[in-house]
Amino acid sequence: MLVKDYKAGTYEKLNDYKAFLPSPINHDWTWDSAEINKLLEKANIELGSLKSYSELIPNIDLYIQMHIKIEANKSSRIEGTQTTIEEELMPIVELNPEKRDDVAEVHNYIKALEYGVKRITVDEFPLSSRLIREIHAILLEGVRGEYKTPGEYRKSQNWIGGTMPSTASYVPPVFTRIPELITDIEMFIHNEDIYVPELIKIAIIHYQFESIHPFLDGNGRTGRILIPLLLLNSEILTKPSFYISNYFEVHRTEYYDTLNRVRMNDDLEGWIKFFLQAAIETARDARSKFEKAVNYVENLNERAAKIPGSTENIQKILKEFYQDPAQTSADLAGKVGITGTTANRILKALENENIVTEETGYSRNRVYMMRDYVNLFK
């Protein structure tokens, strides 16, 4: 299938509206665009560099934890949540009640993403319809949308924009078409008889998934979670170090417009170019953030070594902050295995060195945050 000859789909007449039926994607794709070739080359170089870096750096998994939190924030903001990363790091009881639903959605995103990563990298479970539904169930557990059949493909019509399908800006395919369309994606993912570069496949899969919109809620978040999982599944990356939602959030209008132009004008080539540029900048940005984190930690270790007290306990506490930059004294004492008095003493010393800041103003149940570390990833 030549990319520029692709016909995105057809419309099915249903009562007073038409639903879009995407064309199958399980093809051996080719193109005659020099620009795609150049972008693909750059993207592969950047991802290769990120892969090598993430495999060589000690404690990279700690930094990836922070990277995932930022991804959850950015992906959820695309869907309309209004919380900051600092608010999402705080204990939920410390937040204003109107913020808690948004934060709960972001926390679910983190759980769903980490679950998907574990299934692929540890359990060696294939990226499949079953895994997609499992991820979706975690995303919607106990939050807005929890009554919209979490983990199950829709059995009714949905739409984007407008108050009903007849006034919508986009109407996805009728629900009876979902099984065959998802099967087509699965076959494309695992088709060993075609020779399409993985990044091109991932770009096409993301477009197709968003066009199918198989769930009643949470389609955008699920679709964005699939991108790093596809990179791991294809072994382009061996660590979950690539998250594209920040680029999509910054270029939100272009992101949606480029997806729509495929459906409206058959411009799959335009979408692939946009996605490859996003991959280039995302991979480059991820490596830059990890490099800054490594330098920051090295500098912090030198500063912490001058603090009176047990160097081992101080280092253990710092490590907890790298994984979760907002901590209470009681939590740290339990995680590190020290007394509350010792934890408070170390936290006070770290505060005096401007390594952490106290966020609540309370005399008890204080929350400390390593803001400079958070800012590296923002």
What CATH number has the domain bearing residue 370? 1.10.10.10
The one-letter code for the residue type at 289 is K
Name the token pair of 2.
């030549």
Predicted pLDDT of residue 126: 94
Under a CB-based contact definition with an 8 Å cutoff, are residues 375 and 84 in contact? no
> Are residue 46 and residue 123 in the same domain, yes or no?
yes
Q: pLDDT tens, 311-362?
A: 999 999 999 999 899 999 999 999 999 999 999 999 999 999 999 999 988 8
Predicted pLDDT of residue 202: 98
Work out the pLDDT band at 48, boundaries 50, 70, 90: very high
Residue with tokens 């919380």: 83
- The pTM of the full predicted model, rounded to 2 decimals, is 0.93
Q: pLDDT tens, 11-30?
A: 999 989 999 999 999 999 99
Averaged pLDDT, 126-149: 93
Assigned domain for 295 exists: no
Assigned domain for 298 exists: no
Work out the pLDDT band at 270, boundaries 50, 70, 90: very high
> Are residue 272 and residue 229 in the same domain, yes or no?
yes
Task: Tell whether the model's pLDDT for residue 231 goes beyond 90.
Answer: yes
Which runs of E-coded beta strand occur in the chain? 9-14, 17-22, 326-328, 357-358, 367-369
Q: How far apart are CA 366 and CA 364, in angstroms?
A: 5
Q: What is the DSSP string of 130-144?
A: HHHHHHHHHHTTTST
In CATH, what number is assigned to the domain containing residue 238?
A: 1.10.3290.10
> Are residue 204 and residue 336 in the same domain, yes or no?
no
> Are residue 188 and residue 71 in the same domain, yes or no?
yes
Which residues make beta-bridge pairs with 13? Answer: 18
> Are residue 132 and residue 158 in the same domain, yes or no?
yes
Averaged pLDDT, 88-116: 91
| Residue where one domain finishes, among candidates 289, 322, 337 | 289
Q: pLDDT tens, 140-182?
A: 998 887 788 999 999 999 999 999 999 999 999 999 999 999 9
Averaged pLDDT, 231-240: 95
Q: How many CB atoms lie within 10 A of CB 126?
A: 14
- High-pLDDT (> 90) share of the chain, %: 85
Contacts of 99 (CB under 8 A, 6+ apart): 82, 83, 87
Contacts of 22 (CB under 8 A, 6+ apart): 8, 9, 173, 181, 208, 211, 212, 263
Q: How far apart are CA 17 and CA 168, in angstroms?
A: 9
Instruction: Please give the residue range of the domain that contains residue 46.
Output: 3-289
Task: Tell whether the model's pLDDT for residue 310 goes beyond 90.
Answer: no
Q: How far apart are CA 85 and CA 106, in angstroms?
A: 10
Predicted pLDDT of residue 81: 87
Query: Average pLDDT, whole number, for the chain?
Result: 94
Averaged pLDDT, 191-198: 96
Task: Tell whether the model's pLDDT for residue 98 goes beyond 90.
Answer: no
Assigned domain for 299 exists: no
> Are residue 93 and residue 230 in the same domain, yes or no?
yes
| Residue where one domain finishes, among candidates 233, 262, 289 | 289
> Are residue 274 and residue 340 in the same domain, yes or no?
no
* pLDDT-wise least confident of 2-6, 96-100, 241-245, 269-273: 96-100
Q: How many CB atoms lie within 10 A of CB 275?
A: 26
Q: pLDDT tens, 348-367?
A: 999 999 999 999 888 788 99
**Total number of domains in the chain:** 2
Q: How far apart are CA 267 and CA 8, in angstroms?
A: 8
Predicted pLDDT of residue 57: 86
Work out the pLDDT band at 378, boundaries 50, 70, 90: confident
Averaged pLDDT, 38-61: 94
